[in-house]
Amino acid sequence: MTDLAHFVSGLPKAELHLHIEGSLEPEQMFELARRNRIAIPFASVEELRGAYSFSRLQDFLDIYYQGADVLRTEEDFHDLALAYFRRAAADSVVHAEIFFDPQTHTDRGIPFQVVADGLLAGMLEAERDLGVTSRLILCFLRHLDEDAAFETLAAAEPWLDRIAAVGLDSSEVGHPPSKFRRVFDRAGEMGLLRVAHAGEEGPPAYVHEALDLLHIDRLDHGNRALEDAALTTRLARSGMTLTVCPLSNLKLCVVEDIDAHPIERMLRLGLRATVNSDDPAYFGGYVNDNYRALIPAGRLDAHDFATLARNSFLGSFLDDVAVTRHLDTIDAYVAAAAIA
């Protein structure tokens, strides 16, 4: 590994855009299929990995929802979460805010309780054994209707003290944020923070809607906001955090070439960009793979990478004391690395 890759890998960081169902590795999928006596339509791990070739978001979503079918019990969700946290800890992640898609599971008869309690048990264990803190974000599937989102929010009520925020994911184009305005209003009244995927494939207008109608506290992806100069300025001035996912953008053809990824432009425009893995089992890497993928273009130096890591804490839902403590850790790490 180069010095810069080594520096980046050891940087203390938070991950803010991670779909826990997207961390289901093919090996674990086969293992859970065996444990739950479920047939999966692939002969081997290699054949399954070979199917991970996408030209747009929907290609990925079709296989991602199919893969989630092996998750059946609390233990499955616990094991899924813990496997992610082990990999995250190995990448110097000390805090993670993870998405889950309850409707993917409740729609196939798995109770909300099984999903939530399994994930929460994994999160507690990760904090105790790995020292990785975490928060849970409940995502609504935007290809489903508003009533279904309201039902999901109602099902979550007993867990609201353990859920930090609501989010919005799945097929973006044709399902604008405005469709979920009322359910996001309700979530806000219930004391939940709000995030949404916008501007991944959808136009800048969807980012405007996420800001003005959903009152988001954080923007997931946001790439296409760059097409609108006034919107970019607004995001920069308001200190909005963007959870950017370079390898996901490459695999879903949001960018043509990783060396042309706009992350450097985002930083220079004053946007609070962060680096995240999105669905690491499907897109070829965990968070450090995403950071390191940005090195060869040669436009980011060690200071920029430290900024990206600082942004991950500044944009997190941790309290100010914890954020300050993490920023101090980064400062000490940078000082010890004695970068120019």
**If contact means CB under 5 to 8 A according to the sort of partner, which of ligand HPA, Zn ion, none does residue 57 touch?**
ligand HPA
Of 142, 129, 29, nearest to 86 by C-alpha is 129
Whether 209 sits among the annotated catalytic residues: the reply is no
| Contacts of 41 by beta carbon, 8 Å cutoff, 6+ apart | 66
Q: Which of 106, 170, 223, 232 binds ligand HPA (CB under 6 A)?
A: 170
Q: Which of 15, 76, 97, 278 binds Zn ion (CB under 5 A)?
A: 278
Q: Which of 15, 91, 169, 209 binds ligand HPA (CB under 6 A)?
A: 169
Told to check if 278 binds ligand HPA by CB under 6 A, we report yes
- The answer to whether 58 and 142 are in contact (CB under 8 A) is no
Tell me how far apart the alpha carbons of residues 218 and 29 are, in angstroms, rounded to a whole number: 31
Q: Of the two residues 79 and 220, which places its CB atom closer to ligand HPA in the complex?
A: 220
Q: Residue 224: what residue type?
A: R
Tell me how far apart the alpha carbons of residues 1 and 128 are, in angstroms, rounded to a whole number: 31
Told to check if 22 binds ligand HPA by CB under 6 A, we report yes
End-to-end alpha-carbon separation of the chain, Å? 19
95 is in an annotated binding site: no
- What part of residues 185-214 is at the interface with ligand HPA (CB under 6 A)? 197, 200
Tell me how far apart the alpha carbons of residues 280 and 289 are, in angstroms, rounded to a whole number: 9
- Contact flags string 223-262 toward ligand HPA, x per CB under 6 A: -------------------------x--------------
Is the dihedral angle over the CA atoms 152, 158, 161, 162 positive or is it negative? negative
Q: How far is the CB of 205 from ligand HPA (least distance, A)?
A: 17
Of 329, 248, 243, 297, nearest to 16 by C-alpha is 243
- The answer to whether 20 and 100 are in contact (CB under 8 A) is yes
17 is in an annotated binding site: yes
- The answer to whether 282 and 18 are in contact (CB under 8 A) is no
Q: How far is the CB of 170 from ligand HPA (least distance, A)?
A: 5
In 190-251, where do the E strands start and end? 193-198, 218-221, 241-244
Q: Which of 13, 19, 87, 261 binds ligand HPA (CB under 6 A)?
A: 19
**If contact means CB under 5 to 8 A according to the sort of partner, which of ligand HPA, Zn ion, none does residue 200 touch?**
ligand HPA
Q: Which residue among the candidates 200, 209, 256, 264 is catalytic per the annotation? A: 200
326 is in an annotated binding site: no
Q: Which helix H or strand E contains 85, and what residues bound it?
A: helix 74-90
**If contact means CB under 5 to 8 A according to the sort of partner, which of ligand HPA, Zn ion, none does residue 97 touch?**
none
Of 221, 269, 215, 267, nearest to 243 by C-alpha is 221
Place of tokens 């946007």: 271
Q: Which of 279, 292, 307, 323 binds ligand HPA (CB under 6 A)?
A: 279
Tokens of 279: 């669905």
The distance between the two most distant Cα atoms of the chain, rounded to a whole number of Å, is 56
Tell me how far apart the alpha carbons of residues 114 and 100 are, in angstroms, rounded to a whole number: 13
Told to check if 201 binds Zn ion by CB under 5 A, we report no
Q: Of the two residues 12 and 177, which places its CB atom closer to ligand HPA in the complex?
A: 177
**If contact means CB under 5 to 8 A according to the sort of partner, which of Zn ion, ligand HPA, none does residue 82 touch?**
none
Q: How many residues bind ligand HPA (CB under 6 A)?
A: 10
* Residue stretches of the annotated binding site for Zn(2+): 17, 19, 197, 278
Residues near ligand HPA (CB under 6 A) are 19, 22, 57, 169-170, 197, 200, 248, 278-279
Which residues make up each annotated binding site for substrate?
A: 279
Active site residues: 200
Binding site: residue ranges?
17, 19, 197, 278-279
Catalog residues that contact Zn ion under the rule CB under 5 A: 278
